[in-house]
Every structure is written in C-alpha cells, then in structure tokens.
Structure 1
C-alpha cells in the first residue's frame, strides 16, 4: 500500500488492515518454514507494510495529544 492510501484510511480501517497483514505475514512465514515460498520478498514487503501502518497509527496518536 502507498503511504497516501494509508493516510486516507480511518483509524478503525487502519487497525483492521494491520491485523489482516499480521495474520497474512504469520501464515506466509510458517509456510516458508515448511517449504520455500515462490517469492520470499513477500515476507519483507509485508513487514514493511505493517511498519508503515504502525508508524501512521503512532503519528496520529502524537497529533491527537
């Protein structure tokens, strides 16, 4: 997801996306441990997407104070 798209999401949608991405990352990581994934870069991309979304959540919390 692009940063602009993430900034356009509401707080609830953002939390739902984070939860979904974490679940997907967990599933891909477990599958990769059993047998190699076709594209291991998906793991890195998922981690980065989660980090960007969590950063946006933290920025919103700081702005609210």
Structure 2
C-alpha cells in the first residue's frame, strides 16, 4: 500500500474515532485497505452500527 494511502486511511480512522459516526460507506478498495491494516492498528470503531460497500459497474470491455 502506498505511503500516501496509509496516511489517508489513518486520517479517516482518526476521524471515525473523534466524530463517532454510526454509518460508514465506502468503495471496495477502501474496505480492502482497511482489511490489510497491520494487526497492531486497532482503531475504535465501536460507534459504527451499519456499513455499506458499493461501486459502479465497470465499463464494458472495448474490442
């Protein structure tokens, strides 16, 4: 994972800890980045009650 992406994920997790949202929505790439965090990164996400993952369909292949 690029260093800049790690910083942004950490900033997002810090915001979740500070603002205590109950809903989280992200594209699959973000969920993959969160799942790839090291085991020692344990943000407090206990306020989250509902999450949605969505993205548009990829464009049809061009021939």
Check whether TM > 0.5: no
TM-score (norm 2): 0.36
User: Which structure features the higher share of strand residues?
Assistant: 2
TM-score (norm 1): 0.36
User: Which structure features the higher share of helix residues?
Assistant: 1
